Amino acid sequence: MAHAGLTRGGFYTYFESKSDLYAEVLQCFFTDPNWKNRWEGVEVDMGGADAGAQIVRAYLSRQHFEDVGNSCPMVALPSDVARGDKTAKVAFEQIFRAMTAVLEQSLASNRVDGHVRAQAIAALCVGGMVVARALEDRALADELRESAMAVALKLGGWRVKLQAAS
Q: What is the pLDDT of residue 166?
A: 44
Q: Where are the domains of the chain?
A: 8-156
- The H-or-E segment that residue 158 falls in is none
Label residues 62-74 b or e (16+ Cβ within 10 Å = b): bebbeeeeebbbb
Angle CA 155–153–80, to nearest 5: 90
Q: What is the pLDDT of residue 36?
A: 47
Angle CA 67–75–159, to nearest 5: 80
Label residues 76-110 b or e (16+ Cβ within 10 Å = b): bbeeebeebeebbbebbeebbeebbebbbebbbee
Q: What is the pLDDT of residue 31?
A: 58
Ranges in the chain, pLDDT < 70: 1, 4, 8, 11-12, 18-19, 21-23, 25-38, 108-111, 162-166
Distance (Å, whole) CA 103 – CA 100: 5
Q: Choose the CATH number for 8-156 among 3.30.70.20, 1.10.357.10, 3.65.10.10, 1.10.4080.10.
A: 1.10.357.10
Q: What is the pLDDT of residue 162?
A: 59
Q: What is the pLDDT of residue 50?
A: 84
Q: Are 53 and 157 in contact (CB under 8 A)?
A: no
Q: Are 132 and 145 in contact (CB under 8 A)?
A: yes
Q: If we measure between CA atoms, which residue out of 84, 106, 86 comes closest to residue 94? A: 86
Distance (Å, whole) CA 120 – CA 40: 26
